[in-house]
Structure 1
Amino acid sequence: MNRPQTVIAYINVAHALDHLMMLIFATAVLTMAVEFGVPFGDLLPLSLGGFIAFGALSLPAGWLGDRWSRRNMLAIFFIGGGLAVAATGLARNATELAIGLTAIGAFGAIYHPVGTAMLVSHAEKLGRDIGINGVWGNLGVAFSALITGALTQWFGWRAAFFIPGAVSIAAGIGFLSQVRDEKRLGSKAGGQARIGRDEMMRVFVILMCVAFSLGITFNAVTVALPKLIQERITLFGSAPAVVGAIGFIVYVCGAISQYTVGNLIDRYPLRTLFLPIGFAMTPLLLIASVAHDWAMLIAATGVVTIMYSQVTLNDAMTGKYTSDEWRARAFAARYTITFGVGACAVWLVAWLHRIGGFALTLQVLAALCVLIAIGALLFPRDREEPAGLPAE
């Protein structure tokens, strides 16, 4: 039988690599646009296929994880994803680049439904372990900006794909050697949420609405942040390494929030946390839409912090409301919506930025996040957790 700590360690590394590999292009494109002689707004949509695959293939990946093997699916993610990323670094034109980015998204789709289901099955404290896992994912986003910016500036954009690809392949080999396929486990972190069946449909609808709104916002912000930093935060220059370093700092703050919220999930009812987090996104995005320099840095940090807090909260909700037999498919359904509509965010950012800059882009996202606030208001209380009291 596998040691839970070993399995969770590889799941955490996979989460970091998943987000890092998916967002290499978002920073590298700043340099690639110059080399390819194509404007940013025209080159960015080449990643659309990758984001569509990232969402659309979540369902079959989750089904295979439940019906075949979560361990083997995660191994395919590590090795297949690494090969796809490295191959993208060999692209010679826009067509080859689009194919490579689509392949990255296809393999990247495996992680969230399969890896998160494995995590919940091996977790000892659900909130804590989801929070820590979220930190790893957030660090992957943060390092995608930092590492890609540094590698692009010093060695060229191709190295920014080659090196992470090699790391992922090496991690996959280690995973196969240290983690065996095993009989499915029930969650160690507690059973399902204590709400009535009549409220389950309400929870499902709320989670799907939040997945829709957060999916577009999450992908729009993560894809646009390097360009947003380059345009709105000019205090330290606009070199790729500088943009990457600022992005890294912003995402580290988001990682801290995920760890904090993860620990709070083990102590308080989900609705108690959902209300303040759900209501914070819209005003922060409106502030960011008009901010520059230091004000923009603070606002962007606030947006990313709340955004990732909501992601952690949503993972805990999904994990508590599903049995292990269906867990990968439940996560797959949620992530299909989150990342499926997120694919629209690439087109949305390119289009809105072209006609109204980031002011219009962030204002549209702020309006969309009103859905999250409504979801927080309608979310039911756990029957065994009185309002305002810590959960046992």
Structure 2
Amino acid sequence: MSVPSSALPAQATPAVVPWLLNIAHAIDHMFLLIFATAVAAMATEFGAARWEDLMPVGVGAFVMFGLGSIPAGRLGDLWGRRQMMLVFFFGMGVSALLVAVTQNRWQLAAVLTLLGTFASIYHPVGIPMLVQQARNPGATIGLNGLSGNLGIAVAALVTGYLVKWAGWRVAFVVPGLVSIGCGLAFAWLCPRETEPPHKRTSKARVTLSQAQLARAFLVMTTAAATGGILFNMTTNANTQLMAERFRGVVEDPAMLGTLLAIVYAIASLAQVIVGRLIDRYALRPLYVGVALLQIPLLLIAAHSQGWLLFAALTGVMVSIFGAIPFTDAMIVRYVDDRLRSRVAGMRLAVGLGISSVAVWALGPVVKGVGFTTLLMVLAAIAAVTATIVNFLPDEK
């Protein structure tokens, strides 16, 4: 969908700016998972006997990742998306540097919460900024999703090696400096907006009545919550899941991180494919199909070990990553550009606020019932997602 040239002149926007917005998505997801990847190495230093006991310290980051989306989205529409992205880049970088100098659990919890607050800016601001001039928004969202999930792969790969060679603190310092560098590049290359988004007049691609729009918002928010639980539970647990299920096969943390990075890299390609399909077909049947695919794959992974787990986990992450573009596509398809950041912020606050509980519960759940039961519960949640999505409005 294109927008009036007065929104943000295309001729004034260098081609590198969309790439910086995609890199920002990678930074967003990478930074949120550095802690989950390095937690086993950090546990002893922070007085925890097992990684599961330290994991709840990170819940504040994911709570604020959701709740912070409301003010971030509002500021993005009313103040400007460019300005908010600068706050994102520099805030993420400084927060990561602060994590590297924490000395106790309270400091770690506080700074991770601060990091989550800045991380909340990207989705309600960066994605609407990226698609506001896109001719094929589904493909644009798919490529953006690929970038975000490659950030997850980088977190698994780079964090594993940095922890092994230089310690967990360096694993936060290096990405922090990269984010600050990207912020400087964005400030230099991205032109100022000629008007704030809330003054624009572009319309949504699909016109819905107020009742249909309310139903679509309810569906996208609920599906985002269940999908977020699947995403948070798997991405935060996969490092330790592979360490447990590969015992006696591969035990080097750096090698396990490499294998997990391969899983994420393969799974990320699903978003590009799904994004292209979204531009051509109605959302409801596509989303239902992807959600249903998650169920058998999660059940297979629940009972797998070693290389069979690697294959099953790759399928699981393909289906979970493949579901991600749908909620952003709903906003592009159903919501006017002048409102997108605020609508995205409200949807993310509810959805991610609920799914953030998954991060808090992950350690205690795994400690209490194990990974097999956890994965079977996630399969049931996938079934709930498929049911919810059936209530999307008919696009005819």
Q: Quick check: TM above 0.5?
A: yes
C-alpha separation between the residues in 2 aligned to 1:222 and 1:342? 12
- Out of 311, 320, 339, which is 1:326 matched to? 339
- Out of 12, 23, 26, which is 2:33 matched to? 23
2:61 aligns with 50
Contact 1:142 1:248 in 2 (8 A): yes
Amino acid paired to 1:243? L
* CA apart distance, 1:201: 2.9
Amino acid paired to 1:30? A
Task: Please give the TM-score of this superposition, normalised by the length of structure 1.
Answer: 0.93
Contact 2:78 2:196 in 1 (8 A): no
C-alpha separation between the residues in 1 aligned to 2:141 and 2:249? 35
Amino acid paired to 2:279? D
Contact 2:58 2:360 in 1 (8 A): no
Q: Does 2:245 match 1:232?
A: yes
Q: Does 2:80 match 1:69?
A: yes
Contact 2:90 2:179 in 1 (8 A): yes
Q: Does 2:298 match 1:282?
A: no
Q: Does 2:142 match 1:131?
A: yes
Instruction: Provide the secondary structure at the position in 1 that maps to 2:15.
Output: helix
Q: Does 2:328 match 1:315?
A: yes
Q: Does 2:385 match 1:372?
A: yes
Contact 1:123 1:187 in 2 (8 A): no
C-alpha separation between the residues in 2 aligned to 1:320 and 1:16? 24
- Out of 214, 218, 229, which is 1:201 matched to? 214
Amino acid paired to 2:98? A
Length, aligned pairs only: 382
* CA apart distance, 1:341: 1.4
C-alpha separation between the residues in 2 aligned to 1:236 and 1:381? 49
Contact 1:236 1:242 in 2 (8 A): no
* CA apart distance, 1:315: 1.2
C-alpha separation between the residues in 1 aligned to 2:395 and 2:224? 21
Mean CA deviation greater in 50-59 or 238-247: 238-247
* CA apart distance, 1:198: 4.2
* CA apart distance, 1:279: 1.1
Deviations along 1:238-259, whole A, 9 cap, x unmatched?
2221121111011111211001
Amino acid paired to 1:366? A
- Out of 111, 129, 135, which is 1:100 matched to? 111
C-alpha separation between the residues in 1 aligned to 2:301 and 2:60? 28
Q: Unaligned 5+ residue runs, structure 2?
A: 1-8
Q: Does 2:250 match 1:221?
A: no
1:175 aligns with 186
Amino acid paired to 1:82? G
2:307 aligns with 294
Contact 1:46 1:94 in 2 (8 A): yes
C-alpha separation between the residues in 2 aligned to 1:262 and 1:184? 27
* CA apart distance, 1:50: 0.9
* CA apart distance, 1:211: 1.2
Contact 1:152 1:160 in 2 (8 A): yes
1:338 aligns with 351
C-alpha separation between the residues in 2 aligned to 1:55 and 1:197? 25
Instruction: Provide the secondary structure at the position in 1 that maps to 2:299.
Output: helix
Amino acid paired to 2:77? D
Task: Please give the TM-score of this superposition, normalised by the length of structure 2.
Answer: 0.92
| Aligned-CA RMSD value | 1.8
Mean CA deviation greater in 162-171 or 340-349: 340-349
* CA apart distance, 1:48: 0.8
